[in-house]
């Protein structure tokens, strides 16, 4: 039975000290990516995909260095975008306030790009066993996990992933998707594990 193993990675930690919106990796982020690369070294991926943001590009470059010969592709569909124009009614106030920060264009473009990513990656291949690595952002990983589990659409909210954490989904025809690993950070020491949540949440 043909299957797709989809490895999803959130980019390394962003450098907040840089000025401007599209910043690259911090020193911690580079170290996270290097440790991920060491874990994935030589894995039989057919391709590496990443979004266009600098933090995703730099993470992909560091990981791809451990995967010689594997083609690397940049795609808007796996970039940093709102995955779903979620109705805030009935959501906790913090979620509703967060969603209100997206403008009309983002509410249209984000779900369209997410649908492209789902159509491209969240399916079984025509034949054979395919392994692909997607270096992307928290929102898309959350959406793909929610999609695989057939959870309500609003449940992409609240799924937070570690920088350079590893999530693996398997797709085969005739059976539901399988969540093989979620937010796996075995390759990262505790001081390099970060989700954006307060540190004491991670104990």
Query: Is beta strand 166-172 parallel, antiparallel or unpaired with respect to 178-184?
Result: antiparallel
Which CATH number do you get for residue 179? 3.40.50.1240
**Domain annotation covers residue 200:** no
Give the residue from 6, 112, 109, 22 showing the smallest Cα distance to 58.
22
What's phi and psi for 141, nearest 5 deg? -60, -45
**Domain annotation covers residue 199:** no
**Domain annotation covers residue 145:** yes
**Domain annotation covers residue 203:** no
* Confidence band, pLDDT 50/70/90 cuts, at residue 200: very low
- pLDDT at residue 197, as a whole number: 61
Sign of the CA dihedral with 195 first, then 116, 65, and 187 last: positive
**Domain annotation covers residue 201:** no
- pLDDT at residue 106, as a whole number: 97
Q: 163: domain range?
A: 3-194
Whole-number Cα distances in Å, 137 to 53, 78, 114: 10, 8, 12
User: In the structure encoding, which two tokens stand for residue 164, read together?
Assistant: 């350079």
Q: Which pTM was predicted?
A: 0.94
| 32-83 pLDDT tens trace | 999 999 999 999 999 999 999 999 999 999 999 999 999 999 999 999 999 9
User: In the structure encoding, which two tokens stand for residue 21, read together?
Assistant: 């919106």
| 79-114 pLDDT tens trace | 999 999 999 999 999 999 999 999 999 999 999 999
**Domain annotation covers residue 202:** no
**Domain annotation covers residue 131:** yes
When divided into structural domains, the chain yields a total of: 1
* Confidence band, pLDDT 50/70/90 cuts, at residue 203: very low
User: In the structure encoding, which two tokens stand for residue 65, read together?
Assistant: 């260095």
């Amino acid at each position: 039975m043909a299957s797709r193993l989809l490895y999803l990675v959130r980019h390394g930690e962003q450098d907040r000290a840089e000025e401007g919106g599209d910043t690259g990796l911090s020193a911690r982020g580079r170290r996270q990516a290097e440790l991920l690369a060491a874990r994935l070294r030589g894995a039989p991926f057919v391709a590496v995909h990443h979004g266009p943001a600098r933090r995703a590009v730099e993470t992909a470059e560091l990981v791809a260095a451990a995967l010689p010969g594997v083609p690397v592709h940049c795609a808007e569909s796996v970039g940093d975008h709102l995955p779903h124009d979620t109705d805030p009614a009935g959501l906790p106030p913090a979620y509703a306030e967060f969603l209100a920060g997206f403008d009309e264009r983002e509410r249209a473009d984000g779900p369209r790009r997410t649908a492209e990513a789902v159509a491209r990656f969240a399916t079984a291949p025509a034949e054979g066993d395919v392994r692909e690595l997607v270096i992307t952002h928290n929102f898309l990983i959350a959406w793909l996990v929610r999609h695989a589990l057939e959870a309500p659409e609003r449940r992409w909210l609240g799924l937070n992933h570690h920088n350079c954490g590893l999530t693996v989904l398997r797709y085969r025809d005739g059976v539901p998707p399988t969540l093989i690993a979620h937010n796996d950070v075995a390759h990262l020491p505790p001081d390099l594990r970060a989700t954006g949540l307060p540190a004491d949440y991670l104990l």
